[in-house]
Structure 1
Amino acid sequence: MKKHRKGIDIISQLPDEILIRILSLLPAADITRSRILSNRWKHLWAFLPNLHLVMPRFEEQVKKFNDSVDQTLALRDGMPIQKLYLQCSCGGNNNRVNDWFRVVSQSQVEEIEYRFLADDTNDIRFHLDLSITFNTLIKLTLEGVALVIPKVGIPFPCLKKLNLQFTQHHYKHSLTKLISRCPVLEELCLDRPGLTCKSRIIKLRSRSMRRLTIERCEFKDQKLVIDAPKLEYFHFFACYFRKYTLKSTTSLVEAYISKARYHSIVKLLRCVSFTKILTLTRESLMALGTMWGITLPMFPNLVKLEVPWLETLLLILLQNMPNLEYLTFSDEYLPFIMGYNIPNGGGTCLSSF
């Protein structure tokens, strides 16, 4: 067997394809450090299927970062990108970032996660140009972005997952228009969305959407209308709307309700009354407990309920759940309810954990 002399860099003698595969298994920080190993390693990271780009906070380093991204995309020359993670700050140039997206859109990109970190005033300055068409994009996450939806075109023909965090929608019905430009969308997550216009009605309409998550939204004067006939999962946390309408709810399988407004909690429960699995938090039940004298909805399909222990209100709820099979308590202790017979119901309620 041939013996290798000490000090010889055997790893660097491997083909580029193998070295790129090795780099793809490392954390992002280690990939960045590999650039200083030698001239051979300096640009290898640019050919990884997943690109992780984080703009430095210091203004004097931003120009170097911008030039590096330009060089990276030029070196790839249209090579397919599996995932692009891009994090920018207030030092970023809006037009330049949009130019990067134009290049990436031609690289068969499948997933983009773009986060724009605003300054201390939480001012959103980045505007994403949605006139660009991403023909291969499957998953998109945007944070701190102001969206202006074009009048024509479908920018996301293959998009299945859309996650909007702290985004702004400047024109009336812009969010509705964005969703309509995603014809195969299956999962939508809205976290702290903002509307800078007077939209009385917020419509979420999709013929393909199966999962919807809405968190930390406060629109006291707006009505939320959800038109998703294939919706199976609905997660609602810390949101406040004037009124709710959930159309075509017969497909609903699971609903999670937490921190809804006091006067609208019953309306929200009516919207999800056809679900098979329901989770209510302590805040939801406390809001519901203030609504004495209002008729609670029936839950004809419900088979599993998860709640904290609130004795009086719980017993009232159970009367409207004739087909309930499993009852889970989210509190740390188990009350004495094992074997409780549901009034007007179809059997025995069993506690499970």
Structure 2
Amino acid sequence: MRSAVLRRAGVIEIEESGIPSPGDGDALVEMRAVGLCGSDTAAFRGRHPFREPPVVLGHEGAGMVVEAAGGAIAPGTKVAVLPLVACRRCVRCETGLSHLCAHRRLPGAGLPGLLARFVVLPEQALVPLPGDLTYAEGALIEPAAVAWHTVGTAGVRHGTRLAVLGAGPIGHLTAAAARLHGAEDVLVTDVRPSSLALAARATGCRTLDARDGAVAGDGRGDAFDAVVVASGHPDCMDEALALCRPRGTVVVLPMFGKAVCAGLNPLVLKEIRVKGSSLYTPEDFRAAARAVAGRALDVRPLIADGPAPLAGAQEAFEALDRGSDAMKLLLDPAR
């Protein structure tokens, strides 16, 4: 079988190997769509904290079960991959924080990367999908789950006023998920007009071009119950604290490449709560899967083209590294 291996920073090689065999409780899955994201870019550049060459990348995926040794899921079932397997024994798992498990396994760290035609995964990591959902949509359940968890962390409910700083895939999906949770007023900011136009068209949110200090001059200071930082730009923390109301919540999503400096006086003077949001719980993932499967959370606007053949992995990663105009790039390891 073929897999796309990050051989060294900036170099993806297509390699041939044997088809792995599932053990007890595992399933063999033929991957049909794998999304590429910012953390994949970090690994491609050689800057990821634990995905180090040589490694097969990819953690946003959907495919078809070929063989299931445990018998809990039938061959032929279309599935999304929940790429986080907790130990279920540590204190964090026992207190409902399995997504923060100190012994968790992730693709590239205990689980195989998904940019391979066949992968062996624990059956507990597979979420069945309806037959009419495309593989590309199934692959985007993973970033949708990140957004779903973020909305919960921000405490979004009916009537919430939310600002999302950054209109990339996660920012876009956060705005869409917030609408499903009853958010009344959703503002999305970015410096890319095309991303803002897509967010406005697909989610019905208000948008604002963040260039030239436009966010600070929006006239909505102190207006938002919650602000989600979905951009790694260093100025976003200052903007988030300026937009957040007294005793509101700022949720920080990205991993920053370097230390971020921000004026913290608004944090003190307005008693703002700042929270981090990391990954998702299994419940978040399954809730996002139901929303995507029913298209209440519609990920199709993010998919400009169908998954490209695996042979194009090097070109896809180079495009992602350059800052591709496409919202999501996907590969089909079976092609």
Structure whose CA Rg is larger = 1
Shared fold by TM > 0.5? no
Q: TM-score range by the shorter chain?
A: under 0.3
TM-score (norm 2): 0.27
TM-score, length of structure 1 as denominator length: 0.26
Name the structure where helix makes up a greater proportion of residues: 2
